[in-house]
């Protein structure tokens, strides 16, 4: 579904800007555009993707996961071991300093963990930290992290959202000060912040030499918030920008045809899915308590056609309630091929030979939702479409008032099935299935330190979710990146651009 006028508009912008490109490679500055405002850079007090991207460049964690191999490597820790099912011990790297000159040691780890694990301090995304109880200093370069319960995904979280902060500085400035003047040990240090608008980072010359992130190559990152893509495109052509992302498919295609930029596409860990109120929380007359209705809808939607015509790129149909690369994401589950005749048959068997009328909620991607509404109408399901803000839809979900919805989840780029399936199927207020058996299986998978046992029990849970059609997983999302041909960059499926791994050709 190409938008020809938009593509033509890009060509016009290119002609208008011809001959005015600046060579940003020459002054070693990578000019970057974010589309969304980031008000607080403190990684514990924002949940935006832009915040995750900055977090990886400004701060380090104890562990680093190689985005290509999936291997865990020591970062601020050199090595670690499980003392028991609830205790991790880390030997810390010596000779590391924060951007403000403060030396790194066990006191920083203990202070960070004890601060973020305390719920009263209000870390925004509690699931990233609420599995930790406290940290204990063994000596200057050895710590133990005590978990509230066995949590084998701990290393994945310590390699991702759990950054280590300088204890003295953070005690002095808190989240507000860290947001305005961030200090970490990461490959880039922040030299200026204009909240929500403009961030300037410079290569940290004293970045520790043994980091698995490697040494940053580009000297300066200039990041501006530019919500309008046409404005971003104009700046690309004029040389005011070198790198943009989340470019709409039709516009990425047009830019690629010009030959002036590199256009790269990669799948992300975000998946779209339909959620059904199988538990009947939204009312006794809710048709989604009937398995046949849920299966009928699953057969009614041509997911492959939506991927091919609308998402394009490296998006793919997803059959399991997780992203395929995540640990424990079983793929051998019941699938629902596009079969409108089968859908009508199942509706009739469920007691709806003449079809039915439903409320259909969504919070984003209206065009995708409307395509699904068309497929439903074709098998006799009339939908009352309700497009809400994410916060409003989430609140209704928590109250159990949503019979059916189109939603998405990116797992915060955590490469473990617990980051999605265990968030939605353990009888919490977002669980529309309320299946006790699934909860029991997930409890085992989430707590066992035996990888094979974890896989076995995630498999049991995911197979039942698919068999009962509690969700209809739809597709993975993808992201388009457009950047100057002078830049060496390869995107990854976790949708975290690592500026410290970019370089000039």
Q: Given the DSSP bridges, would you call strands 471-484 and 261-276 parallel, antiparallel or unpaired?
A: antiparallel
Q: Does the pLDDT value for residue 99 go beyond 90? A: yes
Residue 130, CA distances (Å) to 22, 391, 457 in order: 47, 22, 23
Give the pLDDT confidence score for residue 283 in this predicted structure.
87
Give the pLDDT confidence score for residue 25 in this predicted structure.
85
- Rounded to whole angstroms, how far apart are CA atoms 497 and 490? 9
pLDDT grade, residue 17 (50/70/90)?
Answer: very low
Give the pLDDT confidence score for residue 10 in this predicted structure.
54
Helix (H) or strand (E) holding 143: strand 142-147
* Per-residue pLDDT tens over the stretch 340-398: 999 999 999 999 999 999 999 999 999 999 999 999 999 999 999 999 999 999 999 99
Q: Given the DSSP bridges, would you call strands 220-225 and 29-34 parallel, antiparallel or unpaired?
A: parallel
Average pLDDT score over residue span 36-50: 91
Q: Is 97 helix (H, G, I), strand (E, B) or coil?
A: strand
Q: Does the pLDDT value for residue 20 go beyond 60? A: no
Give the pLDDT confidence score for residue 18 in this predicted structure.
44
pLDDT grade, residue 19 (50/70/90)?
Answer: very low
- Rounded to whole angstroms, how far apart are CA atoms 505 and 485? 8
Average pLDDT score over residue span 278-293: 94
pLDDT grade, residue 115 (50/70/90)?
Answer: very high
Strand arrangement of the beta sheet that strand 77-84 belongs to: 77-84, 87-92, 142-147, 132-139
pLDDT grade, residue 5 (50/70/90)?
Answer: very low
Give the pLDDT confidence score for residue 39 in this predicted structure.
84
- What is the separation of C-alpha 219 from the centre of its chain, rounded to a whole number of angstroms? 27
Q: Does the pLDDT value for residue 404 go beyond 70? A: yes
pLDDT grade, residue 16 (50/70/90)?
Answer: very low
Instruction: Report the mean per-residue pLDDT for the chain.
Output: 94
Average pLDDT score over residue span 196-212: 97
Chain position carrying tokens 């590391």: 96
Q: Does the pLDDT value for residue 9 go beyond 70? A: no
Q: Which residues contact 42 (CB under 8 A, 6 or more apart)?
A: 175, 176, 178, 179, 182
Helix (H) or strand (E) holding 375: helix 366-378
Q: What is the DSSP string of 352-399?
A: -TT-EEEEEEESS-HHHHHHHHHHHHHTTEEEEEEE--HHHHHHHHHT
Give the pLDDT confidence score for residue 13 in this predicted structure.
52
Average pLDDT score over residue span 493-497: 93
Give the pLDDT confidence score for residue 47 in this predicted structure.
85
Chain position carrying tokens 């994410």: 390
Average pLDDT score over residue span 143-150: 97
Tally of CA atoms within 13 A in the half-sphere of 189 that contains its CB: 14
CB 405 within 8 A of CB 360: yes
């Amino acid at each position: 579904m190409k938008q020809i006028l938009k593509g033509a508009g890009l060509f016009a912008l290119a002609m208008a800007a011809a001959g005015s490109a600046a060579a940003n490679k020459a002054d070693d500055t990578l000019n970057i555009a974010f589309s969304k405002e980031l008000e607080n850079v403190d990684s514990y007090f924002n949940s935006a993707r832009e915040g995750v991207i900055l977090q990886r460049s400004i701060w380090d964690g104890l562990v680093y996961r190689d985005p290509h191999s999936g291997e865990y490597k020591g970062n601020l820790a050199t090595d670690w071991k499980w003392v028991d099912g609830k205790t991790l011990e880390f030997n810390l790297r010596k000779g590391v300093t924060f951007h403000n000159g403060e030396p790194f040691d066990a006191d920083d780890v203990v202070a960070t963990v004890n601060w973020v694990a305390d719920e009263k301090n209000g870390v925004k995304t509690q699931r990233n930290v609420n599995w930790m109880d406290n940290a204990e200093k063994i000596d200057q370069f050895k710590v133990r992290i005590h978990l509230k319960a066995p949590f084998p995904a701990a290393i994945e979280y310590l390699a991702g959202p759990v950054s280590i902060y300088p204890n003295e500085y953070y005690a002095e400035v808190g989240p507000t000060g860290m947001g305005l003047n961030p200090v970490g040990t990461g490959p880039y240090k922040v030299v200026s912040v204009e909240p929500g608008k403009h961030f300037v980072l410079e290569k940290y010359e004293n970045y520790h030499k043994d980091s698995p992130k490697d040494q940053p190559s580009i000297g300066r990152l200039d990041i501006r918030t530019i919500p309008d893509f046409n404005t971003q495109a104009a700046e690309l052509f004029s040389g005011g920008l070198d790198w943009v992302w989340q470019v709409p498919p039709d516009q990425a295609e047009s830019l690629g045809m010009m030959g002036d930029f590199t256009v790269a596409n990669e799948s992300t860990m975000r998946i779209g899915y339909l959620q059904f109120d199988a538990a009947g929380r939204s009312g006794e007359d809710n048709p989604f308590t009937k398995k046949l209705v849920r299966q009928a809808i699953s057969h009614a939607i041509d997911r492959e056609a939506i991927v091919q015509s609308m998402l394009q790129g490296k998006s793919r149909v997803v059959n399991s309630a997780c992203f395929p690369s995540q640990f424990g994401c079983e793929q051998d589950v019941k699938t629902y091929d596009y079969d409108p005749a089968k859908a009508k048959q199942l509706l009739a068997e469920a007691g709806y030979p003449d079809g039915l009328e439903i409320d259909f909620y969504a919070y984003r991607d209206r065009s995708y939702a409307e395509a699904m509404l068309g497929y439903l109408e074709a098998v006799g399901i009339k939908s009352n479409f309700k497009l809400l803000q994410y916060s409003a839809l989430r609140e209704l979900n928590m109250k159990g008032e949503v019979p059916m919805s189109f939603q998405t989840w990116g797992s915060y780029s955590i490469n473990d099935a617990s980051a999605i399936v265990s968030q939605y199927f353990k009888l919490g207020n977002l669980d529309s299935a309320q299946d006790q058996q699934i909860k029991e299986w997930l409890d085992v998978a989430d707590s066992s330190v035996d990888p094979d046992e974890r896989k076995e029990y995630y498999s049991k849970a995911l197979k039942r979710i698919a068999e009962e059609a509690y969700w209809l997983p739809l597709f993975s999302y993808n992201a388009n990146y457009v950047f100057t041909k002078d830049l060496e960059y390869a995107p990854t499926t976790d949708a975290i651009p690592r500026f410290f791994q970019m370089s000039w050709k």
